[in-house]
Amino acid sequence: MNKRIAVLPGDGIGPEVTAVAVQVLKKIGEVFDHQFTFEEGLVGAIAIDETGNPFPDETLQLCQSADAILFGAIGHPKYDNDPTAPVRPEQGLLAMRKALGLYANIRPVNTFKALADASPLKREIVEGVDFVVFRELTGGSYFGKKGRSDDRLSAYDTCTYTHDEIYRITKLAFEAAAKRRKKVTLVDKANVMETSRLWREVVQKYAAEHPEIELELMFVDNAAMALIQNPRRFDVILTENMFGDILTDEASVITGSLGMLPSASVGNQVALYEPIHGSYPQAAGQNIANPMAAVLSAATLLETSFNLMAEGKIIRHAVEEALNFGYVTKDINPDKFMSTTEVGQKICDFI
């Protein structure tokens, strides 16, 4: 198979973990005789430094002409601590999601046997957890009208959703549930927010037409609690942009490390794959970051964009073997750990 992959390493630990994911894809290419070509593009703080724009046109064109996108992370502390910065790296990520129409962010949460004791939650709570979050990615308060009053003493972020924005991701979530345990939990704040009431209307109507899938409705505050009390109760979680952002960081704790969670962002054209962790600037350049979320994102890329199921499975198996042998980074075992590149090499050896 011949495929072009756009690689956007981004900021912080992004370049280090993405390099491992590319190494793994090259290894798969060798073993299975696929021709993957990789082309790098700029995004985030590094793109601001080099071009003044966090998502340059060149990067957009690279993404649009690629068969899939592998993305690292975005963000830099020099912007986090400056609320008046005129351009921010995160704008690059949001612009990219919008421009590529990546409206659904799919974040699977499963526990690995070898990591059951790495979670701060009790083993009996985290064992066997297997759910997936469908987070809406191009609407809500992330993209609504925002601003300040003239005297700058008040500010607003508007949360807006349309029927169609809700419908298209609802359809994806229900299709995923049909292949899983046939349950969708809609997480919202319908007791307070009008947008949430629209979500309920659209999703309930869709559910009535798909009676084979059970629909559960849950307020987000309650869901935050249920996620750590009884995460096994969830199969597919469907939610809006901001709630999904917050709940998936919370959910990552179940697996033992934020460094384990991959994600896929899909829309109508090319799809993007990225670890859910951020740029972790404190660890940048030290060769200590966990590359597994990036590697699992690469596995998801092969499965979802190229339908290479056997290849994806081998990568997942190789990651599990690395975990079983204790070939892990510091976040997972602070007493006995390897570097980012060593873990990457072990995964390639297993492949």
Q: 347 with 295: CB under 8 angstroms?
A: yes
Q: Which does 281 bind (CB under 5 to 8 A by kind): ligand IPM, Mg ion, none?
A: none
Amino acid letter, 44? G
| Residue of 16, 245, 311, 331 interacting with ligand IPM (CB under 6 A) | 245
| Residue of 75, 92, 231, 291 interacting with ligand IPM (CB under 6 A) | 75
CA–CA separation, 176 and 178 (whole Å): 5
Q: Which is nearer to ligand IPM, 74 or 159 (CB)?
A: 74
CA–CA separation, 286 and 330 (whole Å): 12
Q: Which does 102 bind (CB under 5 to 8 A by kind): Mg ion, ligand IPM, none?
A: none
Q: Which residue is nearest to Mg ion (CB)?
A: 245
DSSP state of 319: H
The C-alpha angle 101, 50, 18, rounded to 5 degrees, equals 60
Residues 90-149 that bind Mg ion (CB under 5 A): none
Residue 247 interacting with ligand IPM (CB under 6 A): no
Q: Is there a catalytic annotation at residue 245? A: yes
Q: Is the dihedral of CA 320, 292, 126, 313 positive or negative?
A: negative
77 Cβ contact list (under 8 Å, min separation 6): 281
Supply φ then ψ for residue 136, to 5 degrees.
-65, 140
DSSP state of 83: T
Q: How far is CA 234 from the centre of its chain?
A: 18
Selecting among 245, 327, 330, 346, the annotated active-site residue is: 245
Residue 245 interacting with Mg ion (CB under 5 A): yes
Q: What is the residue whose two structure tokens read 């750590």?
A: 228
Q: Is there a catalytic annotation at residue 249? A: yes
| Residue of 11, 90, 235, 331 interacting with ligand IPM (CB under 6 A) | 90
Q: Which is nearer to ligand IPM, 264 or 328 (CB)?
A: 264
Q: Which does 166 bind (CB under 5 to 8 A by kind): Mg ion, ligand IPM, none?
A: none
Binding footprint of Mg ion, residue count (CB under 5 A): 1
Binding site for ligand IPM (CB under 6 A): 74-75, 90, 93, 245, 276, 278
> Catalytic site residues?
142, 189, 221, 245, 249
Binding site for Mg ion (CB under 5 A): 245
